[in-house]
A and B are shown apart, each in its own frame.
Chain A
Amino acid sequence: MIKSELIQKIAEENPHLFQRDVELIVSTVFDEIIEAMAQGNRVELRGFGAFSVKKRDARVGRNPRTGASVDVDAKYVPFFKTGKLLRDRLNNE
């Protein structure tokens, strides 16, 4: 499923909404999650999962081809943990 198919489904379930509103609703939800994480916040969606930010410390990496060592800066990465209900549904249905 891709974003446009998700929008299509929501539009079918809500025939009273304009397509462009459904597009705005779907983008708002995803943008809000990114914005929250960009501010260092966590987004917890019970039953689905939680988005959070993890810090990766600076390290010395290696170019696997040449073996040369390179400094890798510390960085912040997005992290998703699947919620219990969804994890169970993936295995019980």
Chain B
Amino acid sequence: MNLTLRIWRQRDRTKKGKMVTYHVTDVSPDMSFLEMLDVLNEKLILDGDDPVAFDHDCREGICGSCGLMINGIAHGPEQTTVCQLHMRSFSDGDVLDIEPWRAGGFPVVKDLAVDRSAFDRIISAGGFISAPTGTAPEAHSTPVPKKNSDAAFDAATCIGCGACVAACPNGSAMLFTAAKVSHLGLMPQGQPERDSRVLKMVAQQDAEDFGGCSNIGECSAVCPKGISMETISRLNHDLLGALRAGGVPTS
């Protein structure tokens, strides 16, 4: 198939960007979306042009590096990561608009690559259980009900790709934050820090120029790992609980 791509090109954070049109021909339906971009890039390199920068690594939907807005939808038309999106989802002659994630908390690095270090800072504000090496009790000393452990796992599968932020009309990172709050809050190990964790993480997400959540649900609908809106409800619940318990939302 032949496609027309309109791709956001921006040299670096400080420069202005714009959409540039490219044509790719002989695209196989079995190619992944990133492989299609590889083909374009090889052509650009041979023509002496600057190839399009985009983040990617594992190419199997687990590292969370990749992420593009394709025709206005985060990660494109299927609910998966861009690296797992295959060209069979498109048809000959399609025109595709390809843009980077757009959010105050995700400044553009170059072209389609953005800086998602804000996510790391949200984790570093409280998204952990303090268990220094060597202090762990025997693993079987605390049973965890399977139901909770499964729910914790579901939340823990978030790959930190940022599609939730990209899709949210408010540019909110609430689904990402909520996934971690839920994962740790559902396990007995996570209880001691449960209150302070949610307060600190939400405070950090606000400080990183992400929006607040107004329960729109766009995030969960594009999340490649299907993180559910329930996690946001759980975050809200925990935060109110923490406030009732006398917590102050500072870091």
Q: Decide if A and B are genuine partners.
A: no
Listed in ascending order, the chain A residues whose CB lies under 8 Å from chain B are: none
Q: Hey, which bits of chain B sit against chain A, CB under 8 A?
A: none
